[in-house]
Amino acid sequence: MVSKELLDLLNRSIARELQVSIQYMWQHVQWRGVKGFAVKDVLRSIAVVEMKHAEAIAERLVYLGGVPTTKPEPIFVGSSLKEMLEQDARDEEGAIKLYKSVIEVASKEGDVTTAHLFRGILADEEDHHDTFTTLLEEL
């Protein structure tokens, strides 16, 4: 039997993935200037990956008997590229912390499949964090 704690963590993860998938896509369509042109496709690409994460987590949650949230965490688009990327880096840091918690709880409960799913997602989030912090170096 899966714990309420794990189900809640999965729903928090879905809300976070919905948030950033919308956030990064809106940043993609609202970019400005030469530097924005240089990162617009990266923002779109990461937004699509984040939506796929939301789908995978929701499928796992339903399998475990939960109901996926449809409400994203608060979305922050920003008004400058620097502001956008700083927020995006912070959001990825939060995801990394959250997903390590999910892996820990799932492992403790013997849920190997959820832990495995989140190890893959965690690797993506670390890559996204690296992308955003690297892009910030030039601003």
Q: pTM of the full predicted structure?
A: 0.95
- As given in the structure block, the two tokens for residue 31 are 């970019």
Do 78 and 87 meet the contact criterion of CB atoms below 8 Å apart?
yes
- Tell which residue, 125, 139, 17, 8, has the closest CA to residue 66: 8
- Tens-place pLDDT, residues 36-68: 888 999 999 999 999 999 999 999 999 999 999
pLDDT score of 127: 98
pLDDT score of 88: 98
pLDDT at 34 exceeding the cut of 90: no
- Tens-place pLDDT, residues 88-130: 999 999 999 999 999 999 999 999 999 999 999 999 999 999 9
DSSP state of 3: -
Do 135 and 45 meet the contact criterion of CB atoms below 8 Å apart?
no
Q: CA 81 → CA 48, 66, 104, distances in Å?
A: 19, 37, 35
pLDDT score of 55: 98
Report all structural domains of the chain as residue ranges with CATH numbers, in order of start. 4-136 (1.20.1260.10)
- Expressed in percent and rounded to 5, the helix, strand and coil fractions of the chain are 80, 0, 20
Contacts of 103 (CB under 8 A, 6+ apart): 115, 118, 119, 122
pLDDT score of 36: 82
pLDDT score of 104: 98
